[in-house]
Structure 1
Amino acid sequence: MTTRRVEVAPDIELDVIDEGSGETGVAVLLHGFPESSHSWRHQVQPLVSAGWRVLVPDQRGYASSSAPSDISAYRGDVLADDVIALLDDIDADDAVIIGHDWGAIVSWHVGQRHPSRCRALIAASVPYTPWPVHPIENLQAVHGDEFFYILYFQAPGVADAELDADPQRFLLSIAHMASGDGMQSLVGGPLPAEGTRLTDYFEHMIGGRIESCPPWMTSDDLAVYTAQFTTGGFTGPINWYRNLDANYDIFDPIGATPLTMPTFFVAGDLDPVILSRPEYLDRMSSELPNHQATELIEGIGHWVQQEAPEAFNQIVLGWLDSL
């Protein structure tokens, strides 16, 4: 696939897959954590075949894209503006924004911040989620003294050092734990926040270390992800989580009002995000002004477009045909 480097802000460049003629329109695919543009490997060609010009960035902090050291460089408004810079680079008036995990959050922020540039919005795995209070305060109240990965991510340098020391082991642990198969066979319970590391927690949940790939990931896929995180490290990606409270301050006052473009949501029915807050599925229909559809794929976990690419593509292409 054709990859080029695009300057999206002063001294900030992103590696971007750029494929397709675009007679149907432009689609931007935004990955989540811990992923990269490679997580959309099953979607690019089907979209191109349907006439879309497809842009798939390694977002800031990931792989070989720029990774500024300032934590605030990863705020949601900044990440949303990166997407708009990609559209400006190809002189596109608007695009369908398709995001998974953190990419879904950025998609919601693009719609809130730049509604006129968002032809439609398709979020995967993370629904539109208005927090009742600042997210970190909320998570501390919910989890107390128990380990939770987002709280573990807040101290600069701690999680970064752990994951940088053995990227492949971490990637395998989270790939298995959050998948549909993993969610159906969890064996571990809560662990204390004090003294627990993230990879240890995930391996505890799945009954120990697993050194083979899940069925939906090949050894070549694992090698790509491992090389990307070995090169780029985890500090940039984790800095996204360190801006949750800042993002709340920016976007909570905006709310759902600007999201008048058609919105769609797709996830696996065993996605831990969905299982932890199923009420947000119904809330999207009531809070989003133009929500068109929500689809759950049976037996699938968090990595929905990788675990069930054929079902995912059929759903998404059907929605795009309706625009």
Structure 2
Amino acid sequence: MPEVLDVATPAVTLRALSWGPEDAPIALCLHGFPDTAHGWRKIAPLLVDAGWRVVAPFMRGYAPSSLASDGSYHVGALMDDALRVLDAAGPTGRDVLIGHDWGAIAGAGLAAMPDSPFDKAVIMSVPPPATFRPLSRVPEPARLAGQLPLQLLRSWYIMYFQLPALPERSTNWVVPRLWRQWSPGYQADEDVRHVLDAISAPENWRAALAYYRAMMRNSKPPAQYAEMHSHWLSGLVLPTLYLHGTQDGCATSNYARWVGEVLPEGSQLALVDEAGHFLQLEQPEVVARHVIDFVGQAD
């Protein structure tokens, strides 16, 4: 069973799950939507066996973490939260970052910071935003454009979340539908229960929606996150492992062709067969082996 770490910040109290010895280098694992810190439960023991301490916070707005008192669900706020959890857990100077989905977006921002406290990053299932910036310089633009019609269909939920009122009443059907769509064939009942425990309350569901609304409406983050927020679209500077499931129903693994163009020196890229969007749950041994081969044994 994981231990519990509570981290109080000026805007939010974050609950994190922790596996492994407290003096080991940290693998800070950031989850996405619709998921929770429990989504790391299958690979955490494998990373602990390799000498790492796995620390996985529940994102702001996802119970048992609190709502954000400043109302910010911007990427810069998520990056700030991650650094505060690392600081509370006790950074060792040899720590790594692992991010999935929204955690991958925040992780890409942290991996783009010139003074990032992490040695390496692992980004999963969502390409770093810099992959497609600027579009005028993206190689094979016609091939990329060919991906867009299907991606628009897959991303229906993002536009749906921009509607007034209706999305707020959709928790109980949206969450299981996305798990079925994104990881076809995976038995997600336990994970869906964890997600509904975290965000089925109206105020928590509104917080989960706020992530997408802040991004799509391009709202400005509060001043305390502005500098950090400025990095999330920038090119990565940390050596980064990018992983994507070949059966991902959220974002096609074909994007790996363009991700490979923007990864910095010392990076790696791998596709995980027989895995959808939640590859760390569907193929935990394979994902853990990729991660450990890249970040190394910590002991």
Q: Does 1:162 align with 2:162?
A: no
Confirm or deny: 8 A CA contact 2:181 2:250 kept in the other structure: no
Confirm or deny: 8 A CA contact 1:105 1:126 kept in the other structure: yes
Cα–Cα, structure 1 residues 172 and 289, in superposed 2: closer, same or farther, change >3 Å? same
Deviates more, 1:19-28 or 1:304-313: 19-28
Q: Does 1:293 align with 2:268?
A: yes
Cα distance, 1:11 vs structure 2: 4.1
Deviations for 1:238-279, whole angstroms, at most 9, x for unmatched residues? 1111122348995479621xx32210111111113442x72x
1:283 counterpart residue number:
258
> Across the two proteins, how many residue pairs are aligned to each other?
273
Q: Classify the secondary structure of the residue corresponding to 1:109.
A: helix
Q: Does 1:319 align with 2:294?
A: yes
Q: Whole-Å Cα distance in 1 between the matches of residues 219 and 112 of structure 2?
A: 15
Q: Whole-Å Cα distance in 2 between the matches of residues 251 and 48 of structure 1?
A: 33
Q: Classify the secondary structure of the residue corresponding to 1:310.
A: helix
Q: Whole-Å Cα distance in 2 between the matches of residues 176 and 254 of structure 1?
A: 30
1:48 counterpart residue number:
48
Q: Whole-Å Cα distance in 2 between the matches of residues 111 and 306 of structure 1?
A: 23
Q: Whole-Å Cα distance in 1 between the matches of residues 15 and 231 of structure 2?
A: 30
Q: Does 1:3 align with 2:4?
A: yes
Give the % identical residues: 27
Q: Whole-Å Cα distance in 2 between the matches of residues 293 and 322 of structure 1?
A: 17
Cα distance, 1:142 vs structure 2: 6.6
Q: How do 1:82-231 and structure 2 match up within 5 A?
A: 82-92=81-91, 94=93, 95-113=95-113, 115-130=115-130, 131=132, 148-163=156-171, 167=172, 169-181=173-185, 214-215=186-187, 217=188, 219-231=189-201
Q: Does 1:255 align with 2:209?
A: no
TM-score by length of 1: 0.74
Q: Which has the higher contact order (CA 8 A, sep 6+)?
A: 2
Confirm or deny: 8 A CA contact 1:24 1:50 kept in the other structure: no
Q: Whole-Å Cα distance in 2 between the matches of residues 20 and 252 of structure 1?
A: 31
Q: Classify the secondary structure of the residue corresponding to 2:174.
A: helix
Q: Whole-Å Cα distance in 2 between the matches of residues 69 and 299 of structure 1?
A: 41
Cα–Cα, structure 1 residues 83 and 159, in superposed 2: closer, same or farther, change >3 Å? same
Q: Which runs of 5+ in 2 are unaligned?
A: 136-144
Q: Does 1:237 align with 2:238?
A: no
Deviates more, 1:228-237 or 1:27-36: 228-237
- Provide the alpha-carbon RMSD of the alignment: 3.1
Q: Whole-Å Cα distance in 2 between the matches of residues 118 and 52 of structure 1?
A: 14
